Amino acid sequence: MQNFQGKVALITGASTGVGEGIAQYLYQCGATVVITGRHKETLETAANNIDPSEKKIIPIVMDVTDPKSVEAVISQIEKHYGGLNYLVNNAGITGSHGVLIEDYALDEWDAVMATDVTGTFYGLKYGIPAIIRSGGGAIVNLSACNGITGIAGIAPYTAAKHAVLGLTRASALEYAQKGVRINAIGPGYVATPNILALPDNIQSWMAGMHPMVRMATREEIAKTVAFLLSDESSFMTGAFIPVDGGYTAQ
């Protein structure tokens, strides 16, 4: 387990699911972790579940689609917690499934792009300067296994996750000599509480999409994120790591 004592991490979309799992693991590694999302009650519940003392898990309401909100929260982190060392751009939505492009609602396309692509851009735009001011650090962007493959029926999400890789690679090149490493991961299906609440046949279908015939655990995703944030990956930037049980190897 990495040692992140004295480090401050921001994780977007961390009130539930994969983001919550990443927050919990980084907290266990000793980091002070700011978790953000749009719903105060859900954020506070997640924070309390991870750290009942509420000293090293800090819930802050933030909307990744609003640049002023992102900028204000990062400024708040610098002011109150001494700087920002790590950023995990996790917030994302999938949109409707099983819909042809010609039938896809325009407002749904806009919502997916605003959250998954523009939200990641805002995180980079305001997070990178803060990390530089703190002496350098690392960023992990959440793409997906369909960031390098095509999946029919979810064109906006597939396009968005490809775009996240473009942002990752461009920003990694821009800041390679400025003390900020920027990488991306591509999870397959993850056994989050919401997924585990689905009917057994749907869970089995999800598991069967991977050659390993199971879903990832949240901890497996979190450990990969922690590796990319840590000095153990000190010569890695602009990389994409699938964490997908072999899905993209097919």
What is the DSSP code string of 84-140? --EEEE-------SS--GGG--HHHHHHHIIIIIIHHHHHHHHHHHHHHHTT-EEEE
Q: What is the CA radius of gyration of the chain?
A: 17
Joined tokens for residue 117: 């692509």
Question: What angle is formed at CA 46 by the lines to CA 193 and CA 186, rounded to 5 degrees?
Answer: 55
Instruction: Tell me if 59 sits within 8 A of 23, measured CB to CB.
Output: no
Sheet (strand 137-142) strand order: 57-61, 32-37, 8-11, 86-89, 137-142, 180-187, 240-243
Instruction: Tell me if 70 sits within 8 A of 64, measured CB to CB.
Output: yes
Q: Tell me the C-alpha distance between 168 and 173, whole Å.
A: 9
**101: exposed, middle or buried (Cβ count in 10 Å: 0-12, 13-18, 19+):** exposed
- Checking phi first, is residue 60 left (phi over 0); if not, alpha (psi -120 to 50) or beta? beta
Residues annotated as catalytic are: 157
